[in-house]
Each structure stands twice: as structure tokens, then as C-alpha cells.
Structure 1
Amino acid sequence: MKKFGSMLMAMALGMSMLVGCGSGTANTGTTGTEEGAKTIDKLTVAFVPSKEPAEIVTATEPLKGMLKEELAKEGYNVGEVEITVGTSFEAVGEALSAGTADVGLIPGGTYVLYDDGAEPILTATRDALSIESDNAKDWNDKKPTTGLDEQVTFYRSLIIAGPSEKGQELAAKVNAGEALTWEDLNSANWSMMSTTSPAGYIYPSLWLQENYGKSLTDLASVVQADSYGSAMARLASGQLDIVVGYADLRRDNEEKWTSEFGRTASIWDETNVIGVTPGIYNDTVSVSTTSKIMTDEFKKALQNAFINIGNTDAGKEVIAIYSHNGYQVASPSDYDNERAAQKLIQELNAAK
């Protein structure tokens, strides 16, 4: 398993370098004002609930007009852009498979599970972080974590201990250079996301398997959260001792920690990393292969539209809700590591 984790990280970093060599701009095609422009009555874009649904809907409202404008440059007049937030990661995957959603912004793990009805056309880029280490203590010694100008196509999942007595006990051991035992971890209250979430389930389970021969479902006390926001609120209240999630999770909740979650001290003072996973290939913009409006030409138009949106300040502000900074053309093979990870998790669960 240690070899597997190292392989995942090495391949993710390698792919990041390769993708980073590609073009960051898109070529626009026929404008919507020219004769022969095609009409799309309605385009449905679905988001997974990695943040509070209302927050996603509000933040992405400007995306409707941006997509219509950019697609018009590509020769497509779109009547309506509908933005929805699924009740779960799987619900968005199912919508893409069924063709009730045309486009989905989904993690690699969700895409892999539904790759019979979904196709990744873009990979998100995100800001590199000021801390990049396999060692949990490094993330605590060098906090707070900040963003860098460098763009990467991978991220990590962190196992984060909160301000509860148990959370602080586990963090103290890590920061003292002591190894955590399975008994230590199993005595805590954990939160996880849905089973197709790379950062919220798959890779933390791989971390537990590699270090303890266990997975998240082996824990005595683990609950599935409906969103990262609700998980962090429960971590702040002490209902949870440990949350697993993407490495930007604390940055995204830094203000809420005191303004909404009722804490008086900073999130950086009250939380600590107790585990770090290998790199995870970034989220996808995937399209439905069963959607009636999805053609090869329209896929290309969507690629160009999202890339161009990600190259503007206004566009970056919108897609920042998912910690995205821009987009690069993707291929299904980019997510082969994710397939390997999913397969391993399924085998582990089947063996129980």
C-alpha cells in the first residue's frame, strides 16, 4: 500500500507537469451573430454539494450570463442556463448518466463511478499551497496555509483534528512527533463525505489502509456529512473530533470559524493536521454522454467557454467557490489513478 500511495503521488505530480505545459487559452470559433448559429434552448449545469447549496447557487449566478456570452462566440445561441446543486455527489453523477444534467462540475471520483454516462472535458487548476508535505506535523509547524501564484492540477486530502478534547489530544501527539495508534483514531468521532468523494472518503480510506490496515467504515464512530460546511460547523462545536477533506478546507472556512461557528480563536490555532494523503487529480468539468444536445462540436465549444471564463477576473471569482482557478483540456485517461483507487476501495469493502 505504501508503494501504491507513492505511485499515486508521483503520477499526479507528473500529470500536473504535463498538463501545465499545455495552452491556457482557448481559440474562439464562429460568433453568435453570424449566419448559421445553432440554438440550444436550455443548458443544465449541475454542481456537487461540496459547499452549502445556497452558497453555491448565489456564487455561480453570474456563470449563467458568462456561459451564454462565451458560447455565442462559439456559434451557439443558448436560451437558458440552469444551475442546480445535487443533493449528493452521486445525485449529480446519476443526473449526467440520465441526461437530465448536461454539464457537471464533479470530482474525479464521482466521474469514475459514472464514466458510462459522463465524460471529462476539462480539469480544474487551482492555486498551489504554501505547504506541500507528506508529514502532518509540517502542516502544523508552518501554518497558516496560504495560496501561491503557481497553478497545479492536483490537491491533497487532510485528516484534521478540531478543538474538542479528543481532537487536541491527538494533535498533541502528532506535534510531539509521536505516532498515532489505531486505538487513538478509533476513539474519536469522525466525519466523512459520500463514498465517491476523493478528499472526503476515498483517499482518507487509503491513508487508513496504508497506515493501519483499516478504512473509514471500520471506525467505531463516523458520520457522513451532507456538505463540508456542515462538517466544519460540527467540528467547531465539538460534536466531531476529526474531519477529512481537501487541503483548502480550513482556508475556505477561516472567516466562518469565528463569525458563524461561534469560536473565539482562529481556525489555525484550534485545528491541526494529523494525516496527509497522496495527491489527488483535480475536479472535472464533465458532460453527459446521453444528453440530447451534447455533440463533439458542442463539447469543444464548452471547453473553450469554460477556459475563457477561467481566464478572466470575473470568471475566477465565480469558480473560486470550488477552489478552481482555471481549466485545462482533460482526457478520461487522466483519471486512471482514480480508477485504481476506487477499485482498491471496492475490493477492501468487499473483503469485509
Structure 2
Amino acid sequence: MFKKVLRFAGVLGLGLALTACASDTSTTGSKSGADSGASKSIDKLSIGFVPSRDPEEIVSATKPLKDLLKKEMKKQGYSIKDVDISVGTSYEAVGESLSSGTLDVGFIPGGTYVLYDDGAEVLLAATRAGLSNDSEDPVKWNENKPTKKTDKQAASYRSLLIAGPSAKGQALGKKINSGEKLTWDDLNSASWSVMSSSSSAGYIYPSLWLKDHYKKNISDLKHIVQADSYGSSMARLAAGQADIMVAFADARMDYEKQWQKEYGRKASIWDETNVLGVTPPIYNDTISVSKNSKIMNAGLKKALSQAFINIGKSEEGKKVIAIYAHEGYKKATSADYDNAREAQKLVKAAAK
């Protein structure tokens, strides 16, 4: 779920931890020592999260991760004195900090990872519950509401173009559900709320959808506003300030309660929104590490991978990672995100 997000400008370093340092350079400071069987001590391990949800909500939900990670890393032979958790000012801020080495670990979408893979290395991909809807036909999503989670774990997700309760949004939804195809003028005359350009679900894959259907890009749209989180984007949709928003497929499930209680809508989110478009599958969010962190090496990467896999299997750990709709983790490779790289190339080419 990292779902996903796009080049986030933002002041790099704000809210992010400084470079982690090892207290015992004979073990954590050298690759040979870190890979030995001796206990290793680390003063600080810094972890950054992207702001796909409200930052305060993320910090609060992930607070237990500190003790969970310390406990699991101890089983792997590592003693960590402090785990510093922060939420970046943007997706790009987290990617830049990983690349520069001022952040050790990042929970980032695949789209963000491929933008910064010169300085970041993917360790794990998130798994999460599949959804009751998975068709690329938007009408099927609108006919089979509400979307629900299933027991089947999925390694990918989709992005949706969601029309809101504004007059324009309702007109577009009605046109789709009647079997008509939307024209470029239909979409170009609407107001859009999107994420930054490194967000897989909030920019990159919707751009690919536009390219496939209209040979256009999000940057070609006349009325776009970049949101700082999916929460603010959903609020804008509910208020009629945007006719269309782009988001990961289970976003409406995440904001179902807020739609009425916080955003002031009388009807449910399922009654007031319609899917206009569905992207191809997007490989799940990553746990990536910095290639330039002063403490990162093969031994630490292996230990972190196993620790996060174990955390994802525990009941307490599942509660923590649920903030991103993650339900577990599996090992990933750089090649798993080759499709995301191709997507980035297309987006870059379209932006020129």
C-alpha cells in the first residue's frame, strides 16, 4: 500500500534523522566485523516514512515499532540503543535522505524507490489483503460497491481515478456507468487532485493510464492541484474542490468514516464516488535501505530483512504496519521494479 506519491519537493532533512552512527566501529563500522558472529552495537538506526497519511497519525501508529525492532534485531545479534522514526516532508525528501545516507531505512513506494535506486537498495516488498474488485473495467468497481478486503494476500495493487460528489464528478461517473467512453475534453475540463510525481498510485500510473487511453499525461491537464497527503486529497474531493482524485484502490475504504464524520458529507463515500479509470497492477511498497549509510552492510541488511519479516508475522507488528495497509513482508529484488522503471521513463519523457 505503500502505495504511492510523486516527486516530493519539501525541505530535505526536516523531520528526518541525522546519519546513524555505530558505537562499536570494530563490529558495525566495518563490513567484516558486522558479518561476524559477534554481537553488534548500534547507537542509532533512523527510519523514515513517506507522508501518505497524516504525519502525526503515522508517528503515533508506528511508535511501538521502536521496541519491536530492537527486540527482533537482538535475536539477529544486533543491539540497537535508539530507533529514530520520522515522517518526511515529502516522498522525495525520504528518497533523497536515503540516497545521501542521512537516513538508514525508508518505507517508500516502488515509484519512489526506482527514482533513488542509485543510493537506495530494496530489501522487502509489502504484502497485503487483496480486494474484492480487481478488474480494469471501472464499471465493475461501481457495480460491486463497496470494495472489501479478501483473505488472499496480494503483492500488487491498482490506482483508481475517482470522481467525487461535485456536479462535474457526478456527470463523469454517470457517463461511465451508462457505458459511454470519456473524452479527453471530459477529463481536461475537470479539476484534479494528484500526489507528487514520484507517487506510484497518485501520479505515475495514472499518467500511464492517460497515455494509454489518450496519449496524454497528468502534466497535460489544465486543472491539477498537488496534495500533500491522500487525506487532504480526499477532503478536497469531498468538498467539491476537486472533481477527480487519483489514489490507491483501497483509499475509499481507509477514508470511509472520515467522509461523513470529518468531511461533512451526508451520504456514504460509496454512494457519492465513482471509478472512472483503473490502472494496471503496481508492485507493492518497499522497505529500502541506504547504500550510503555509514552503518549499512550485508550483515545489517540481512538482519533487518529477517527482523521486519518477523514483525510482519506477529499480531503486535501487524497492528503497527496496518497504517500503510501492509500485512506482511517478503524479500524483493531490484528486478521486481523494472516495470516501475519503465513507467518512470514514460512519465519523464512526457514531461519534457
Q: Secondary structure at the match of 1:291?
A: coil
Q: 309, 321, 324: which one pairs with 1:322?
A: 324
Q: Find the counterpart in structure 1 of residue 102 from structure 2.
A: 100
Q: 163, 166, 169: which one pairs with 1:167?
A: 169
Q: 259, 264, 267: which one pairs with 1:262?
A: 264
* Cα drift, residue 60 of structure 1: 0.5
Offset from partner CA, 1:204-235 (integer Å, 9 cap, x none): 00101111111111111001100000000111
Q: Find the counterpart in structure 2 of residue 271 from structure 1.
A: 273
Q: 55, 71, 74: which one pairs with 2:73?
A: 71
Which structure 2 residues correspond to residues 175-214 of structure 1 after superposition, within 5 A?
Answer: 175-214=177-216
Q: Secondary structure at the match of 1:139?
A: helix
Q: Find the counterpart in structure 1 of residue 116 from structure 2.
A: 114
| Cα distance in structure 2, aligned partners of 1:143 and 1:247 | 12
| Cα distance in structure 2, aligned partners of 1:182 and 1:145 | 27
Q: Find the counterpart in structure 1 of residue 15 from structure 2.
A: none
User: For structure 2, which runs of at least 5 residues remain unmatched after alignment?
Assistant: 1-36
Q: Secondary structure at the match of 1:183?
A: helix
| Cα distance in structure 2, aligned partners of 1:270 and 1:323 | 23
| Cα distance in structure 2, aligned partners of 1:214 and 1:36 | 56
* Cα drift, residue 36 of structure 1: 3.1
| Cα distance in structure 2, aligned partners of 1:156 and 1:108 | 13
Q: Secondary structure at the match of 1:256?
A: helix
- Per residue, is there more helix in 1 or in 2? 1
* Cα drift, residue 107 of structure 1: 0.6
Q: What code does the residue aligned with 1:335 have?
A: Y
| Cα distance in structure 2, aligned partners of 1:82 and 1:163 | 41
Structure 1 runs, 4 residues or longer, greater than 3 Å off: none
2:138 corresponds to 1:132:
no
Q: What code does the residue aligned with 1:272 have?
A: N
Q: What is the TM-score with the length of structure 2 in the denominator?
A: 0.89
Q: Secondary structure at the match of 1:150?
A: strand
* Cα drift, residue 37 of structure 1: 1.3
Q: Secondary structure at the match of 1:305?
A: helix
Identity of aligned residues (%): 62
| Cα distance in structure 2, aligned partners of 1:92 and 1:44 | 11
| Cα distance in structure 1, aligned partners of 2:64 and 2:260 | 28
Q: Secondary structure at the match of 2:321?
A: helix
Q: Secondary structure at the match of 2:64?
A: helix
* Cα drift, residue 347 of structure 1: 1.3
| Cα distance in structure 2, aligned partners of 1:175 and 1:349 | 32
| Cα distance in structure 2, aligned partners of 1:39 and 1:322 | 29
| Cα distance in structure 1, aligned partners of 2:69 and 2:194 | 33
Offset from partner CA, 1:243-286 (integer Å, 9 cap, x none): 00100110110111111111111111111100000000000000
Number of equivalenced pairs:
316
* Cα drift, residue 64 of structure 1: 0.7
Q: Secondary structure at the match of 1:84?
A: strand
Q: Find the counterpart in structure 2 of residue 308 from structure 1.
A: 310
- Contact in 1 for aligned 2:139/2:176 (Cα 8 Å): yes
Which structure 2 residues correspond to residues 276-291 of structure 1 after superposition, within 5 A?
Answer: 276-291=278-293
* Cα drift, residue 314 of structure 1: 1.3
* Cα drift, residue 139 of structure 1: 0.3
Q: Secondary structure at the match of 1:238?
A: coil
Q: What code does the residue aligned with 1:91 have?
A: A
| Cα distance in structure 2, aligned partners of 1:210 and 1:132 | 19
User: For structure 1, which runs of at least 5 residues remain unmatched after alignment?
Assistant: 1-34
2:63 corresponds to 1:61:
yes
Which structure 2 residues correspond to residues 195-234 of structure 1 after superposition, within 5 A?
Answer: 195-234=197-236
| Cα distance in structure 2, aligned partners of 1:80 and 1:255 | 36
- Contact in 1 for aligned 2:160/2:278 (Cα 8 Å): yes
| Cα distance in structure 2, aligned partners of 1:292 and 1:143 | 49
* Cα drift, residue 312 of structure 1: 1.0
